[in-house]
């Protein structure tokens, strides 16, 4: 059941991207908005064209890799990244203006919302953090974690980064 939910969520995300994409190929539809013609077309982002990046030390503890999957063209504000955490790697505390959804692909990890206990997550799980809720996520101390992170931007930013998660808090 978890795998079906994961696949459904991924399919929905990809469907949103293709219906909101900008011009490259043949138009999907045209309409008039505020006197301007808007043409929606299919866009294909070829695998391997967006390079992987190391999770910046300012926002991550340990080794994390970020593969930006896409940032949908305006008017959409949705972006998705595939984040891979080595054991003990994790994000700093942070918030998202419109919340964040994680689709766990493989491995095991932990998530924590400020004021709550740390929770276990694993392959097939879907995690939702509400808007502006302070949280962190990452791998366990012994197992890597890979998840898709889906969030929306507000005024150009999808995240507000805060302090690092201290080892004593991570290990509790």
Round the average pLDDT of the chain to a whole number and report it: 82
Is residue 71 in some structural domain?
yes
pTM over 0.85: no
Cα 94 from chain centroid?
13
The more confident residue out of 99 and 70 is: 99
Is residue 12 in some structural domain?
no
* Mean predicted confidence (pLDDT) in 32-50: 69
Helix (H) or strand (E) holding 122: strand 119-122
Cα 42 from chain centroid?
22
Is residue 17 in some structural domain?
no
Is residue 56 in some structural domain?
yes
Is residue 81 in some structural domain?
yes
Under 8 Å between Cβ of 76 and 148: no
Is residue 106 in some structural domain?
yes
Report the alpha-carbon distance of residue 162 to residue 170 in Å, rounded.
15
CATH number for the domain spanning 159: value is 2.60.120.10
- Number of structural domains (the chain) is 1
Helix (H) or strand (E) holding 38: strand 36-41
Is residue 25 in some structural domain?
no
- Domain residues for 154? 46-170
Instruction: Report pLDDT digits (tens) over 15-30.
Output: 333 333 333 333 333 3
Is residue 16 in some structural domain?
no
User: What pLDDT score does 101 carry?
Assistant: 98
């Amino acid at each position: 059941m978890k795998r079906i939910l994961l696949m459904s969520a991924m399919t929905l995300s990809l469907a949103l991207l293709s219906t909101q994409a900008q011009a490259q190929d043949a138009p999907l539809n045209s309409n008039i908005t505020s006197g301007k013609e808007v043409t929606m077309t299919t866009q294909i982002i070829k695998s391997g064209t967006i390079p992987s990046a190391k999770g910046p030390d300012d926002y991550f503890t340990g080794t994390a890799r970020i593969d930006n999957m896409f940032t949908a063209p305006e008017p959409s504000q949705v972006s998705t990244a595939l984040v891979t955490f080595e054991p003990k790697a994790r994000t700093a505390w942070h918030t998202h203006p419109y919340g964040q959804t994680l689709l766990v692909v493989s491995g095991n990890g932990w998530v924590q919302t400020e004021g709550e206990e740390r929770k276990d997550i694993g392959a097939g799980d879907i995690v939702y953090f509400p808007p502006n809720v302070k949280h962190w996520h990452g791998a366990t101390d012994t197992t890597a974690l890979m998840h898709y992170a889906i969030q929306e931007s507000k005024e150009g930013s999808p995240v507000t980064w805060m302090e690092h998660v201290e080892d004593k808090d991570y290990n509790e």
